[in-house]
Amino acid sequence: MMPKTEAEVTGSLTEQSPQSKRESVPRPERKQSFQTVSLDEVNRLYTPADISEIVFDSEIGTPGEFPYTRGIHATGYRGKLWTMRQFAGFSTPEETNRRFKYLSQEGQTGLSVAYDLPTLMGYDADSPLSEGEVGKCGVAVTSLADMEVLFDGIDLEQVTVSQTINAPASVLLAMYLVVAEKQGADWKKISGTLQNDILKEYIAQKEWIYPIRSAMKLVIDTFEFCTNHVPRYNPISVSGYHIREAGATALQELAFTLRDGIEYVEWGLRAGLDLERFVPRISFFFNAHNDFFEEVAKYRAARRIWARVMRDRFGAQNEKTKQLRFHTQTAGVSLTVQQPLNNVVRVAIQALAGVLGGTQSLHTDSYDEALALPTDRAALLSLRTQQIIAEESGVANTVDPLGGSYFVEALTTKMEQGALEYFDRIDAMGGMVEAVEKGFPQREIQESAYQYQKALEAGEQTIVGVNKYQMTAETTEVPILVIDESVRQHQIERLDQVRAKRDTGAVSRVLDKLRAAAQAGENTMPATIEAVREYATLGEICSALRDVYGVYEEPAI
């Protein structure tokens, strides 16, 4: 068959005058400027000219090969799908244990623990400061006894568990290891991730305890301990998620997170750790926000930047050391109270961005999370969202399907350049610890948050159901999860039993030992593990470290 002529293809157009075949004056655009959710300008069209400076082999390349722009595995999701890891935790350890088992039974492939605010801040359930907060934003864990209940019937050698805990991370890691040990699991075989990213606490999430440099020392202690004793465990998840939620742009999220990563590597090297042994176990955690292409470009840029930084700044030789692995969570901040079912759609689009960006694991938020912690029904739908993307949409059939797009490649390179400019500014301040002490990232994020709010109120950015398409009488009633004060009472009862049964003398001896280790600048992990074994509480262990390190006071920013 002969190829069709242009006249045949265009059909009826050929009957019109030649002039009208092409728009001589393009239709005016709907608005003056088109911006991403980060308020970054987007061009009308991207063409080969936008990527003419990009060298394919060295900058885009092949999945599984340096600089890993297209992914760290040659086979992508054809080899292994991402881990579907739903962040869950509420109420008592019993309740959360039940949710874990429910999600696992429905096809979830990894666990992720959300702790409540007292746990995140290192206070026991019976502390006066814990009043009104126990079990509210996550599960309450005060001592090893709670952790034993939390993982009851869950084989820690078989399942990977991620723990969102930062200031008291070393203590929760110790509890996890002791529970694993009691189950008969081999530390050399267990795997999982500790968030343990204290820098982003000072920058964005603000759940700190100790002054920044002492807190960094605790992080390095866990690196060293895990490298030697729990080699398959990721002792840190360097997190942009919270930085983004606090109001950062996509670029700021990328830049501050990777610069935090560099800071941890530098501190690890200064403590004498072996680059090629500890860096491969540093993992990352990014947000998946609304602006689809901007997010995809962010993940791709992250991999390329990390690979180059590891090679050029640190002289890494091993490929594993240069490969950035990351978890993604959809943007909690994007969820709306108004017309909550709309959130189902937002989450699906955000999750798709994470997948097309090549995430290793994914949490999809639930539609009811602007109202409360998710119900079973809502949590199940968000897991199903991932399963539909993975097994129905076809996007997992080929690796990095957006690679080569003029827009996506141009944006990836723009993100990389923007991040490198931030690195220069932070390096000039002396590093990330110094930049945080000066309030630099905090101010940058605060400014972006305010500019976004202004854009929203000016109608330059749209949130469906909030500043456009509002409904006065909403028809959807969403059932929500209620956690009452009886949770605290339940937790205090178990704590009282623990205090009655344990060897008080042994507890005070191990706490003294921990203070001495902290004072001497030794690794605090062995003494922390001993303290946990004796059922010293989280609050007691954190107090012992506070005695030595003091507490952080936020500078006025």
Which residues sit at the interface with other proteins, rule CB under 8 A? 117-118, 120-121, 123, 129-133, 136-137, 201, 205-208, 245-247, 333, 336-338, 370-372, 446, 449-450, 453, 457, 463, 466-467, 480, 482-483, 485, 554
CA–CA distance, 342 with 336 (Å, rounded to integer): 8
Cis peptide bond upstream of 168, omega within 30: no
In terms of DSSP H, where are the helices of 167-211? 169-183, 198-200
For residue 423, the minimal CB distance to other proteins (Å) is 24
Closest to other proteins by CB, 275 or 480: 480
For residue 354, the minimal CB distance to other proteins (Å) is 22
**Helices 538-549 and 525-533: angle between axes, nearest 10 degrees:** 150
For residue 479, the minimal CB distance to other proteins (Å) is 11
For residue 515, the minimal CB distance to other proteins (Å) is 24
Closest to other proteins by CB, 121 or 190: 121
CA–CA distance, 439 with 189 (Å, rounded to integer): 41
For residue 332, the minimal CB distance to other proteins (Å) is 10
Closest to other proteins by CB, 405 or 467: 467
Closest to other proteins by CB, 201 or 260: 201
Burial bucket for residue 508 (CB in 10 Å: 0-12, 13-18, 19+):
middle
CA–CA distance, 135 with 146 (Å, rounded to integer): 12
Q: What are the strands of the beta sheet with 326-330, ordered from one edge? A: 233-234, 192-194, 161-164, 110-114, 83-88, 361-363, 326-330, 282-288, 236-239
CA–CA distance, 261 with 280 (Å, rounded to integer): 12
Closest to other proteins by CB, 324 or 371: 371
Closest to other proteins by CB, 274 or 554: 554
**Backbone phi, then psi, for 293, in 5-degree steps?**
-70, -35
Closest to other proteins by CB, 139 or 246: 246
For residue 242, the minimal CB distance to other proteins (Å) is 9
What does the DSSP 8-state code read for residue 106?
T
For residue 404, the minimal CB distance to other proteins (Å) is 37
Contact 394/384 with Cβ under 8 angstroms?
no
Q: How many residues does the chain have?
A: 557
For residue 121, the minimal CB distance to other proteins (Å) is 5
Q: Which long-range contacts (CB under 8 A, 24 or more apart) does 451-458 make?
A: 451/39, 452/37, 452/39, 452/247, 455/35, 455/39
Closest to other proteins by CB, 130 or 239: 130
